[in-house]
Chains A and B, each alone.
Chain A
Amino acid sequence: MIEVHELAIGYDGHAVQSKLTFEIPQGELVAILGGSGCGKTTLLRTLVGLLPVISGSMRVAGSNNPANDMGQPPFGVMFQMGALFSSMTLEQNVSLPLEAWTDLDKDTILEIARAKLALVGLDGQGGLSPAEISGGMNKRAAIARAMALDPPLLFLDEPSAGLDPSTSAGLDELIISLREGLGTTIVLVTHELDSILHLNARCLMLDAEAGTLIADGFPGELQGDSTHPAVNAFFRREMRAKT
């Protein structure tokens, strides 16, 4: 689903991460981890085509350059703050991609939008506006919008950030059920350790100091076997010694 080779990413030609090489097969749940400012969101924004590649190559859901592909995007994206349109209700937010990319009639679109909202636990809340709901509900609605077109690939940017443990656990369950039920490939950016352990996602760990990928594996493997101090510090919730 995603192939990345010797990729350098960053802003205005300045690389924050380089020599990134990994593959994500279809149906896998992958967490991009790392400390604050290491370039997790930059990688996600590059993968979805919002930032240009500095060097190297990538292939995301069959596209070499998603930014230049003008058609229906082969993935859905949930942004960190939800990015729901405040002038629209939740139903209208979820309906938007269906209206843009399908010829379905309005009633069918509305019905699908309601079902998507019910799927993320927002049954009967479709008439509310984003300003009227909590942060957790905002993120759920943003996931429903990202899933509107049933994309085979979902990108989630910090789905648990800023949420209480119970809401965060609920969101994790949703992610697991989406992957298991729909077979969706899910790439999420996070630094919530509890969430990573609960999801048992394959972890791609970035490090700001190394400027590249420092670990690739499942939490169980990385917790016990890694020799990299940053990986150990992350999984043991320790302060990392300055090198």
Chain B
Amino acid sequence: MEIKTVEGAPGTARRLVLGGSVGLESLSDLRERLDEASVHGAVELDLAGVGGFVGGAAAVVAPRVKAGAVRVLNVPEGVSSVLDLYLERAAEPERQAIPPMDLIPWLGEAANEYRERSMGMLAFLGELGRSTVQAIRRPSTVRWQDVTSLLARHGSDGLPINALIGFLMGLITAFQAAVQLRKFGADVFVADLVGLSLTRELGPLMMAIVLAGRSGAAISAELGTMKVGEEVDALRVMGLDPVRFLVLPRMIAVTFVAPILSIMSTLAGISGGMLIADGLLGIPFSAFINSLEEALGFADVFTGIGKSLVFGIIVAMIASQRGLATRGGAEGVGRSTTAAVVTTLFALIVADALFAILFNMWGI
């Protein structure tokens, strides 16, 4: 493309003469020259020598013509059809002002969003409670065929990773404890420390974190995709309750597998601890188990199982609620999945802290 500027007599419009083929690559230059020239008033754009004129060129010229900043002259026949089409529909060029960041509106919006989320969670809890009561009254309304496949997906399929993480946690805890306890000649307490910390705390918590990342994210993404694909709406218009149809089977499956996964994770952790105790401190397996039997009571085992049960409910509930609250398209599914995992992790830590306080108060 060639652009030639012809200076007119004082008081007359500046003229730009275009030549050759106006392609996409020359549009920045064309736009710049038009804006430069139009600073001094209206510009005449002579198109007599133009051989080719892409739609993008018309997209640049047409809004300026419409705004009165440019007047086109000698438009060849091949160019006029393109230009006319854009002129017919073109908008005047606009600059969108970037709104300044204002703290008070931002705080208001954030508070409003928090309120909406809280209300959404409350409404979900209400629906869940109602559906659970209905399911207890009429168990046949629950899709048990889904529950079995969900048990496999969230339970047995997740067992290897849970056991591996539990084993490594036991290994690390025992190793750290061994190094410190040996300084005081208290090597023998490694079994107590590993057993108690894994059974009461680390086993259930690590299991819940893995469950949130693995099953919680999957549930949220699955329900979110169903929501944006209007499948959840389809259930509603068919008179089916999405909570009973979709959420309850997932709640049942995850709540049921959580204590089992926690027990398996804890056992794997204790075996990791036993390996370190034997290898590093020379404590044989039998001595380790004897020490463990003395240190661990029923209360310790049941607090661990009870916590994992509650953690399972938290994971399934938050993931389902976030999934069903998904809005928008693929991006919305990603957002709700992230929100589900982050919210669950936060809720798990809070719940764990509450358990610690309660157990302390009850003397367990």
| A interface residues, Cβ below 8 angstroms from B | 86-87, 98, 102-105, 107-108, 111-112, 114-116, 118-119, 121, 123-124, 127, 129-131, 147, 149-150, 177-178, 180-183
Contacts and interface: CB of A to CB of B under 8 A. Distances in A.
Contacts of A124: 91
Interface string B122-150: 00000000000000000000000000000
A153 to B, nearest CB: 13
Interface of B: 24-25, 27-28, 31, 54-56, 58-60, 62-63, 81-82, 84-86, 89-91, 93-94, 96, 327-332
Contacts of B85: 119, 177-178, 181-182
Given A118-B91, A119-B85, A112 B59 contact: yes
Nearest to B328: A131
13 contacts: A87-B331, A98-B56, A107-B31, A108-B31, A111-B60, A112-B56, A115-B62, A119-B85, A127-B96, A149-B56, A150-B54, A150-B56, A182-B85
B331 to A, nearest CB: 4
Contacts of A123: 89, 91
Give the dominant DSSP class at B's interface.
helix
A89 B170 CA distance: 49
A119 B56 contact: no
A183 B82 CA distance: 8
Contacts of A118: 89-91
Q: Which of B28, B62, B63, B90 has the most CB of A within 10 A?
A: B28
Contacts of B62: 115
Contacts of B59: 111-112, 115-116, 119
A182 B82 contact: yes
Contacts of B332: 86, 131
B24 A149 contact: yes
Contacts of B91: 114-115, 118, 123-124
Contact of A111 (B24, B82, B93, B328): B93
Contacts of B331: 86-87
A119 B89 contact: yes
A111 B89 contact: no
Contacts of A116: 55, 59
